[in-house]
């Protein structure tokens, strides 16, 4: 069941040297109990799409059109105060770097209780009990003791668990996990992803997983959207996507995963364009091995090419 829908989101940056578009008609939806992975190279628009949902955009960012629907409300029309009730309580963020997301001056307990007080309207013993339950749910041992710890006393994995506990304490219905394991070492990465997966299944939470790690996506995602230079270029159920990717960019990304020993890895030639580069037609055409005449002249539409498998490429459509 769909819980959040991003529909034709267009966004740009109002800079001194002009207005530069960064997102073009970005559309995707999140379902309860499913992990939707948003993948692509750095700078393709993954994080800014997520921040649009949370209403946490930088000052220069301007949404020019589009709708973000959550519980029958367009989040883009809500006031800052109304968004405060949704952000953290109903839609929570697991940030990339847990080291900088917790306040070093306050204990984990203080920070967790503050969230519970604001979003759950609890105080005293019930709030304390809820905080312990939240830490236990993310498998932090000696939860009562850990409430008294300062962030610097916890490992990176523990800090990330504490942040996930804050999201859980508020019973968030949507979790936005922005590269949640990038700052952690490999053994902890798997634990955190297993935890997010468990939350998804047990709490029926919708998860938006932002990552450039396709191995992670293969293991945990239910749906995959690939972004390139501010556009969604492919979207499919994960099984279909990994079995039969259709967009040349997705194929190039998958061929660049170091999986098979002895196989020469492919690279994607060139660099993703900056938002200041004006590229006509398909924005991938300067790097595409399959480029055709039409590709630099027209923008391929994102079309359903095989029962829920969407792709924006002239190779796969008659558009
Ligand atoms: Fe390549 Fe053309 Fe397809 Fe773009 S539309 S991905 S340039 S073949």
Sequence-distant (≥ 6) Cβ neighbours of residue 190 within 8 angstroms: none
Q: Quote the CA–CA distance of 4 and 205 in Å, as a whole number.
A: 11
Is it the case that residue 84 has pLDDT exceeding 80? yes
In short, whether 315's Cβ falls inside 6 Å of ligand 1 is yes
Task: Count up the domains in the chain and report the number.
Answer: 1
Q: Is residue 147 part of a domain?
A: no
Q: Is residue 200 part of a domain?
A: yes
Q: What is the mean pLDDT of the chain?
A: 90
Distance of CA 252 to the CA centre of its chain: 21
Against a cut of 0.85, is the pTM above it?
yes
Question: Which atom belonging to ligand 1 lies closest to the Cα atom of 295?
Answer: 2
Q: Is residue 109 part of a domain?
A: no
Is it the case that residue 176 has pLDDT exceeding 60? yes
Q: Is residue 134 part of a domain?
A: no
State the residue range of the domain holding 305.
Answer: 2-90+172-258+267-317
Q: Is residue 38 part of a domain?
A: yes
Q: Is residue 98 part of a domain?
A: no
In short, whether 300's Cβ falls inside 6 Å of ligand 1 is yes
Q: Which of 315, 316, 317, 318 to mutate to test the pocket of ligand 1 (most atoms within 8 A of CB)?
A: 315
Report CA Rg, the chain: 21
Percent of all residues in the chain with a pLDDT value above 90, rounded to a whole number: 58
Structure tokens at 306: 């095989």
The values of phi and psi at residue 143, to 5°, are -55, -40
Q: Is residue 45 part of a domain?
A: yes
Q: Quote the CA–CA distance of 225 and 9 in Å, as a whole number.
A: 15
Q: Is residue 228 part of a domain?
A: yes
In short, whether 281's Cβ falls inside 6 Å of ligand 1 is no
* pLDDT digit string, tens, across residues 265-294: 778 888 888 889 889 999 999 999 999 999
Q: Which residue has the tokens 């000696």?
A: 142
Sequence-distant (≥ 6) Cβ neighbours of residue 59 within 8 angstroms: none
**Of the candidates 5, 22, 24, the residue with the CA atom closest to the CA atom of residue 69:** 5
Q: Quote the CA–CA distance of 47 and 121 in Å, as a whole number.
A: 30
In angstroms, what is the span from residue 268 Cα to ligand 1's centroid? Answer: 14
Q: What is the CATH number of the domain that holds 36?
A: 3.40.50.300
């Amino acid at each position: 069941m769909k819980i959040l829908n991003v529909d034709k989101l267009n966004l740009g940056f109002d800079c001194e040297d002009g207005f530069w578009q960064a997102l073009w008609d970005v559309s995707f939806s999140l379902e309860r109990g499913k992990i939707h992975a948003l993948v692509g190279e750095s700078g393709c628009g993954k994080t800014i799409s997520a921040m649009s949902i949370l209403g946490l955009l930088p000052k220069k960012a301007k949404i020019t059109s589009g709708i973000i629907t959550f519980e029958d409300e367009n989040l883009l029309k809500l006031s800052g105060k109304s968004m405060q009730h949704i952000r953290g309580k109903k839609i929570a963020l697991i940030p990339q770097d847990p080291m900088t997301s917790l306040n070093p001056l306050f204990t984990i307990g203080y920070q967790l209780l503050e969230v519970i007080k604001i979003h759950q309207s609890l105080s005293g013993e019930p709030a304390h009990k809820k905080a312990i339950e939240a830490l236990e749910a993310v498998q932090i041992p000696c939860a009562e003791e850990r409430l008294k710890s300062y962030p610097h006393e916890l490992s990176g994995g523990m800090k990330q668990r504490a942040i996930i506990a804050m999201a859980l304490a508020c019973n968030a219905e949507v979790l936005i996990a922005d590269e949640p394991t990038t700052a952690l070492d490999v053994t902890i990465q798997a634990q955190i992803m297993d935890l997010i997966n468990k939350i998804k299944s047990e709490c029926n939470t919708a998860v938006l997983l932002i990552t450039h790690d396709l191995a992670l996506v293969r293991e945990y995602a239910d749906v995959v959207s690939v972004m390139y230079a501010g556009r969604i270029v492919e979207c499919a159920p994960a099984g279909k996507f990994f079995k039969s990717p259709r967009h040349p960019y997705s194929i190039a990304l998958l061929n660049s995963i170091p999986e098979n020993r002895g196989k020469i890895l492919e690279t994607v030639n060139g660099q993703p364009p900056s938002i200041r580069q004006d590229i006509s037609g398909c924005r991938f055409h300067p790097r595409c091995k399959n480029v055709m005449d039409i590709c630099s002249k027209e923008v391929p539409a994102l079309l359903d090419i095989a029962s829920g498998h969407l792709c924006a490429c002239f190779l796969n459509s008659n558009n």
